[in-house]
């Protein structure tokens, strides 16, 4: 226990020391919210990875693979497709963000559609969908503290410890904003994915050389859902599509496009992230498949990471726990920071945004409040974590409903505010109703998940509004100016009446 908890304490101190060493006063709200758009490609890459690959990949994703087999590879293609989207979204998102001083995903959507309603609806969907993952991050970290106590701390107490550690960690997140998140992501990513990959490779070698090769894995682990399966033939495709579409809808992921110092940096980061994701995801998933042949895995597939690491004794288990901690800290920090800023900047009354100092202060208070609510929720739901897991699945089906408004809005000029709001709302309602009725997949839709069904309705509403609702000449000129870049960084778009209520940031009132 001294080795396990001691390694966590040492790592925690190293992260805090790095943050204190690099801390500086914020130059304004943009500096606090998007780190002054100042980071290079490797910081961007590591920050993306530390948010994209939470501690859950070592527990939930690896557990699913240990239990169900090769279907666990589904997160590899959607992760790589998300990186492809990063590459193609980079130019327009970064250019709009720099030109109009945008700080959040909802900020960009408010500008694109010239609508406060679009901005608020997108911000609320992002915040509500992200919150369960903060709670689950606190709870899943309880497994780390339970294993690293080597039986001396009960699971309930371990969860309380994890909540306390993550709550204390938010002191630096609140003080330093997104700059602190990105800098700490570099340290945490080295531990989570470099050290983590070393451990995975070592475990793979041990499994293969000790009679746990692919020929020892049950045949059922090498099947994917087909026409006669219970979940339906379109289920696997739905998982990949939902993951791809929803990937850049998470506020904490999207803000990575604003913290880079240039478009070239974002594109270079995408090129760097792709091979890392490919190697890491493939190795972890393959390790979980091979570990399925271990006798104790069948009873606790969610603990496959720690059970397999147990072959190396106390030190290896401690390092495995450290890897999960580093990955979880990055995801929780980014979620709280991005959600807090988005609620402050895009939902709270306009008077909080009349000055940089007031808005920064409000954002810090919002992040603190979210941390407190998440800690209370995690504590109160210790006994009902399975219910929260279902809520998290529902939240993913919900967050991807931002995709048509976001992606079509960036690449297509015809979309309008009516279609954006109507699409998001109809998609959320459709996916929520179907998720409650069919938690896994919808049988009469060939195995489509509720999220994909919602996306179909969502996109249909968006496109119908774009085709049948004619925009004004003034609105056409405003959107054209965004896509053609006709206006300089200090100029306002042509619809002065639409923008008159927001002189401070140039966004539509």
- Specify which residues 204 forms β-bridges with: none
Q: Please provide residue 442's backbone torsions phi and psi, each rounded to the nearest 5 degrees.
A: -95, 110
How far apart (Å, rounded) are the C-alpha atoms in residues 328 and 323? Answer: 9
Q: Return d(Cα 180, Cα 109) in angstroms, integer.
A: 26
Q: Provide DSSP, 209-258.
A: HTT-SGGGS-GGGG----TTSSS-TTHHHHHHHHHHHHHTTSHHHHTHHH
Residue with tokens 């965004």: 482
In angstroms, the Cα distances linking 503 to 122, 312, 342, 378 are 22, 61, 19, 41
- Average pLDDT (274-289) is 96
Please give the pLDDT value at position 380: 74
Is 485 a residue whose pLDDT tops 80? Answer: no
The mean-pLDDT minimum among 133-142, 196-205, 388-397, 460-469 falls in 388-397
- CA 243 – CA 340 distance, rounded (Å): 23
Q: 470 — phi, psi (to 5°)?
A: -85, 130
Task: Tell which wins on pLDDT, 76 or 299.
Answer: 76
Is the distance from CB of 366 to CB of 340 less than 8 angstroms? yes
pLDDT (mean) for 485-491: 46
For the chain, the straight-line distance linking the first and the last C-alpha, in angstroms and rounded, comes to: 56
pTM score of the predicted model: 0.87
269 vs 346, residue with greater confidence: 269
Higher pLDDT, 199 or 218: 199
Task: Identify the pLDDT of residue 392.
Answer: 64
**Neighbouring-strand partners of residue 442:** 448
**Token pair listed for 147:** 């294993």
Asked whether the beta carbons of 467 and 487 are under 8 A apart, the reply is: no
Q: In this predicted model, what pLDDT tens digit does every residue of 83-102 receive, in sequence order?
A: 999 999 988 899 999 888 88
d(CA 89, CA 107): 16
- pLDDT confidence of residue 143: 83
The sign of the dihedral angle between the CA atoms of 120, 125, 128, 132 is negative
Give the model's pLDDT for residue 311: 92
**pLDDT at residue 499, as a whole number:** 36
Among the residue ranges 30-34, 414-418, 468-472, the one predicted with the least confidence is 30-34
Q: 31: closest CA among 133, 154, 179?
A: 179
| Confidence (pLDDT) at 55 | 86
| Rounded mean pLDDT, 460-472 | 94
CA distance 129 to 395: 5
- pLDDT of residue 24 exceeding 80, the answer is no
List domains and CATH numbers for the chain. Answer: 2-384 (1.10.4160.10)
Work out the mean pLDDT of the chain and round it to a whole number. 86
Q: Which two tokens stand for residue 293?
A: 């042949």
Cβ-contact 85, 305 below 8 angstroms: no
Rounded distance between C-alpha atoms, residue 20 and residue 14, angstroms: 10
Confidence of residue 492 (pLDDT cuts 50, 70, 90): very low
Looking at residue 171, its pLDDT comes to: 84
Q: Minimum mean pLDDT among 158-172, 272-286, 357-371: which range?
A: 357-371
Kindly state the average pLDDT of the residues 365-371.
84
Q: Which whole number is the average pLDDT over 333-362?
A: 75
pLDDT at 135: 82
- Mean pLDDT, range 161-168, rounded to an integer: 85
Q: Is the pLDDT reported for residue 76 higher than 90?
A: yes
Q: Which has the minimum average pLDDT: 69-78, 322-331, 337-346?
A: 337-346
Q: How confident is the model at residue 390 (pLDDT cuts 50, 70, 90)?
A: low
**Scanning the structure block, which residue is given the tokens 């408010």?**
110
Q: What is the dihedral of CA 261, 264, 269, 274, to 10 degrees?
A: 160
- The predicted structure's pLDDT at residue 26: 64
Check pLDDT > 70 for residue 432: yes
Residues 137, 336: contact at Cβ < 8 Å?
no
Q: What is the pLDDT of residue 389?
A: 52
Q: Which residue bears the tokens 């945008």?
A: 102
Q: Enumerate helices (H) and strands (E) in the chain, giving the number of each.
A: 24, 0
Residues whose CB is less than 8 angstroms from the CB of residue 45 and which lie 6 or more positions away in sequence, other chains included:
269, 272, 273, 276
CA 121/CA 166 separation, integer angstroms: 29
**Collapsed DSSP state (helix, strand, coil) of residue 486:** coil
d(CA 508, CA 495): 9
pLDDT exceeding 70 applies to what percent of the chain? Answer: 90
The alpha carbon of residue 258 and the mean position of all alpha carbons in its chain are separated, in whole angstroms, by 15
CA-CA distance, 20 to 98, in Å (whole number)? 28
Task: Give the pLDDT score at 296.
Answer: 87
Specify the 3-state DSSP secondary structure of 448.
Answer: strand
Predicted confidence band of residue 382 (pLDDT cuts 50, 70, 90): low
pLDDT of residue 42: 93
């Amino acid at each position: 226990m001294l080795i396990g908890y001691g390694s966590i304490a040492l790592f925690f101190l190293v992260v805090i020391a790095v943050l204190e060493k690099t801390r500086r006063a914020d130059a304004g709200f943009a500096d606090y919210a998007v780190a002054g758009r100042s980071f290079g490609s490797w910081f961007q890459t590591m920050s993306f990875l530390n948010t994209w690959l939470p501690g859950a990949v070592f527990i939930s994703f690896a557990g699913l693979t240990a239990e169900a087999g090769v279907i666990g590879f589904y997160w590899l293609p959607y992760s790589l497709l998300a990186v492809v989207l990063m590459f193609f979204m980079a130019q327009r998102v970064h250019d709009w963000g720099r030109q109009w001083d945008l700080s959040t995903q909802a900020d960009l959507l408010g500008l694109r559609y010239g609508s406060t309603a679009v901005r608020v609806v997108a911000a609320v969907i992002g915040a509500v969908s992200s919150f369960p993952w903060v709670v689950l991050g606190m709870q899943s970290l309880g497994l780390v503290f339970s294993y690293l106590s080597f039986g001396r701390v009960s699971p309930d107490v371990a969860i309380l410890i994890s909540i306390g550690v993550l709550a204390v960690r938010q002191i630096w997140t609140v003080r330093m904003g997104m700059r602190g998140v990105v800098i700490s992501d570099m340290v945490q990513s080295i531990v989570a994915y470099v050290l983590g990959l070393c451990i995975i490779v070592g475990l793979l070698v041990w499994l293969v050389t000790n009679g746990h090769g692919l020929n020892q894995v049950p045949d059922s682990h090498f099947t994917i859902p087909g026409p006669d399966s219970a979940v339906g033939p379109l289920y696997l495709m739905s998982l990949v599509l939902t993951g791809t579409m929803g990937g850049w809808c998470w506020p904490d992921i999207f803000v990575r496009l604003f913290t880079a110092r240039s478009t070239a940096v974002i594109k270079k980061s995408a090129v760097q992230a792709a091979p890392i994701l490919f190697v890491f995801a493939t190795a972890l998933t393959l390790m979980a498949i091979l570990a399925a042949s271990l006798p104790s895995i069948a009873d606790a597939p969610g603990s496959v990471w720690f059970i397999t690491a147990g072959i190396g004794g106390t030190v290896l288990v401690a390092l495995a726990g450290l890897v999960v901690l580093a990955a979880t800290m990055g995801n929780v920090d980014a979620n709280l920071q991005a959600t807090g800023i988005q609620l402050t900047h895009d939902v709270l009354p306009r008077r909080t945004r009349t000055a940089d100092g007031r808005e920064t202060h409000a954002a810090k208070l919002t992040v603190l409040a979210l941390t407190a609510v998440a800690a209370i929720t995690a504590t109160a739901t210790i006994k009902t974590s399975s219910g929260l897991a279902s809520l998290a699945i529902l939240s993913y089906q919900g967050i991807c409903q931002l995709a048509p408004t976001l992606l079509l809005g960036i690449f297509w000029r015809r979309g309008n505010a009516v279609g954006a709001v109507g699409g998001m709302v109809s998609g959320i309602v459709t996916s929520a109703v179907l998720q409650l009725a069919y938690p896994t997949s919808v049988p009469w839709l060939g195995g489509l998940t509720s999220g994909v069904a919602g996306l179909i309705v969502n996109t249909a509403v968006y496109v119908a509004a774009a085709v049948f609702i004619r925009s004004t000449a003034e609105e056409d000129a405003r959107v054209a100016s965004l896509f053609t870049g006709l206006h300089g960084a200090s100029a306002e778009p042509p619809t002065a009446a639409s923008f008159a209520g927001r002189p401070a940031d140039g966004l539509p009132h």
